[in-house]
Amino acid sequence: MAWDRVANNNETHHLSPSNIQQNNHEYDSSSAPDTGHSRLNELGYKQELKRDLSVLSNFAFSFSIISVLTGVTTLYNTGLSFGGPVSVVYGWLIAGCFTMAVGLSMAEICSSYPTSGGLYYWSAKLAGPSWAPFASWTTGWFNIVGQWAITTSVDFSLAQLIAVIILLSTGGKNEGGYEASKYVVIAIHGGILLLHAILNSFPISWLSFFGQLAAAWNILGVFVLMILVPLVATEKASAKFVFTHFNTDNGEGISSRLYIFVLGLLMSQYTLTGYDASAHMTEETKDADVNGPKGIISSIGISIIVGWGYILGITFAVTNIPHLLSSNNDAGGYAIAEIFFQVFKSRYGNGIGGIICLGIVAVAIFFCGMSSMTSNSRMVYAFSRDGAMPLSTFWHKVNKQEVPLNAVWLSALIAFCMALTSLGSLVAFQAMVSIATIGLYIAYALPIFFRVTLARKSFTPGPFNLGRYGIMVGWVAVLWVATISVLFSLPVAYPISKETLNYTPVAVGGLLILTVSSWVLYARHWFKGPVTNIKN
């Protein structure tokens, strides 16, 4: 397969060692109309995307992708199965603290290198001239595939939720409700992706509005549900149950309490993912060297707070874990859907209120998928700008509204193709989307690792920096990613068979093999890392 180089009107230049060190500059907002624009020029790139996002809009994209309503709702079953209330309540705080360490380290690097390329560009700059091409190639492919997996899993989870809403609206599983087949679910998934691609074809000013609306919806939705659901419930769990009950009855043959708790962390860590969107949107963000880092940190911090509130509110309505997890309940085993439905049914005689609550969650997931595709397309745009993708010149194009339209539709197509694995086996699909958590976090950790090792002395921070704590926080972040990469690759059921095997290491290992082998076989001969398009 021929791999195109980026064609620009201006002469292109590979980042040289002198360029890599060319960030000893003064960040003076008074000397330039926009510090992010000026910094982008210093890094060797001309402004091609419309720089129209405020710090609020930048935050909104990451916050919408993290979307606690999406992650917690989707994987609450996992949390209940592995540890129950203790796992979801305390696991959220543990994962949140370590995620903040990852976010702080990323924010520090983002402040120095505010480009749409984000992580792979950072790796190239921090790994040094010798390792830059390979570091950039590996980080970039883990990042972009991880983002496609995020979009796939988010939109597929929305399709599944819509199927559950239809089931409950037609009477529920026990009263002859309509149960959508896997083909109907994949068709719904395709329709959602189509809508997201259309929305992402609009100018960035429109997306900025949708992004802010999404952030507001997520925050208000969390507060409405965390208050309304336990308030309406006729039976409530005790504080002792919520804060001390540990569920060991997982039905998967696992008895070790530590092992169970570790597996329960997946709900929290999967949710707290996707905040690299703030980095990918920096070329469209005003004063991005300051506002990009703010977007990363604030989206994580606010998500931790409101997410914990949502988890507590929902868990106070949990009174019968086995029933919630049973595939024979009205929601077909979808725990939060069953909670909402039964809470209103027990109070008012019908579950209409619960279905409306599920609608609130569905809208939040829709916004999450929309923002995820926005981030995807900017990563595709930047990666192809540097010639790292097949047909790079095509994916790098922007239209008259300065939108990378081709990159948007490519992201939608790949997300749909990834979801097709669900038709063969949900096990295969879960292996595919496991890259969304582990694969993406590996991409997060690589530039941080280079920051605390190869670039420990040469890194010049931007306006936002951690000072003397930068190295320590960086190592905490790297070690946490290494830890969860091992933990989430452990078997989740015993005895182990082809149906119960955790295929995460297979999926992530396969991605690693493909990335490294493609580098060794041909990419090392022509890919030299990020390419500048401004003469210095």
**CA–CA–CA angle 331, 334, 337 (5° rounding):** 65
For the beta carbon of residue 183, count every other beta carbon within 10 angstroms.
Answer: 9
Give the separation between CA 74 and CA 267, rounded to whole angstroms.
Answer: 8
Q: What are phi and psi of 118, to 5 degrees?
A: 55, -120
Q: What are phi and psi of 239, to 5 degrees?
A: -60, -35
Q: Is 251 helix (H, G, I), strand (E, B) or coil?
A: coil
pLDDT the model gives residue 157:
93
pLDDT the model gives residue 535:
58
Q: What are phi and psi of 13, to 5 degrees?
A: -135, 135
Continuous segment of H or E residues that includes residue 122: helix 119-169
Continuous segment of H or E residues that includes residue 13: strand 13-14
Give the separation between CA 118 and CA 328, rounded to whole angstroms.
Answer: 45
Continuous segment of H or E residues that includes residue 207: helix 204-232
Amino acid at 220: L
Residue 416 in contact with residue 27, Cβ under 8 Å? no
Residue 44 token pair: 């060797």
Give the residue among 365, 308, 313, 307 at the shortest CA–CA distance from 340. Answer: 313
Residue 362 in contact with residue 158, Cβ under 8 Å? yes
Residue 533 in contact with residue 7, Cβ under 8 Å? no
Place of tokens 């009107």: 9
Give the residue among 451, 460, 534 at the shortest CA–CA distance from 26. Answer: 460
pLDDT the model gives residue 15:
45
pLDDT the model gives residue 533:
62
Continuous segment of H or E residues that includes residue 220: helix 204-232
Residue 458 token pair: 């040469």
Residue 128 token pair: 């040094």
Residue 315 in contact with residue 322, Cβ under 8 Å? no
Give the separation between CA 164 and CA 170, rounded to whole angstroms.
Answer: 10
Place of tokens 């239809």: 166
Give the separation between CA 461 and CA 113, rounded to whole angstroms.
Answer: 9
Residue 421 token pair: 């694995």
Angle (deg, nearest 10), helices 335-348 and 68-81: 90
Taking the model in full, what pTM does it have? 0.85
Give the separation between CA 77 and CA 488, rounded to whole angstroms.
Answer: 16
Give the separation between CA 203 and CA 284, rounded to whole angstroms.
Answer: 11
**CA–CA–CA angle 215, 220, 226 (5° rounding):** 125
Give the residue among 269, 225, 238, 206 at the shortest CA–CA distance from 408. Answer: 206
76: left (phi over 0), alpha (psi -120 to 50) or beta: alpha
Model confidence pLDDT, tens digit, residues 67-122: 899 889 988 998 999 999 999 999 999 999 999 999 999 999 999 888 877 788 89
Residue 188 in contact with residue 163, Cβ under 8 Å? yes
How many residues does this entry show for the chain? 536
Continuous segment of H or E residues that includes residue 14: strand 13-14
**CA–CA–CA angle 179, 185, 186 (5° rounding):** 155
pLDDT the model gives residue 138:
93
Residue 153 in contact with residue 266, Cβ under 8 Å? no
pLDDT the model gives residue 532:
67
Residue 208 in contact with residue 57, Cβ under 8 Å? yes
For the beta carbon of residue 70, count every other beta carbon within 10 angstroms.
Answer: 29
Give the separation between CA 63 and CA 56, rounded to whole angstroms.
Answer: 10
Residue 399 token pair: 């239209």
162: left (phi over 0), alpha (psi -120 to 50) or beta: alpha
Give the separation between CA 341 and CA 353, rounded to whole angstroms.
Answer: 7
Q: What are phi and psi of 490, to 5 degrees?
A: -70, 155
Residue stretches of the chain with pLDDT short of 70: 1-33, 45, 48, 433, 532-536
Beta carbons within 8 Å of 253's beta carbon, 6+ residues apart: 493, 494, 495
pLDDT the model gives residue 501:
77
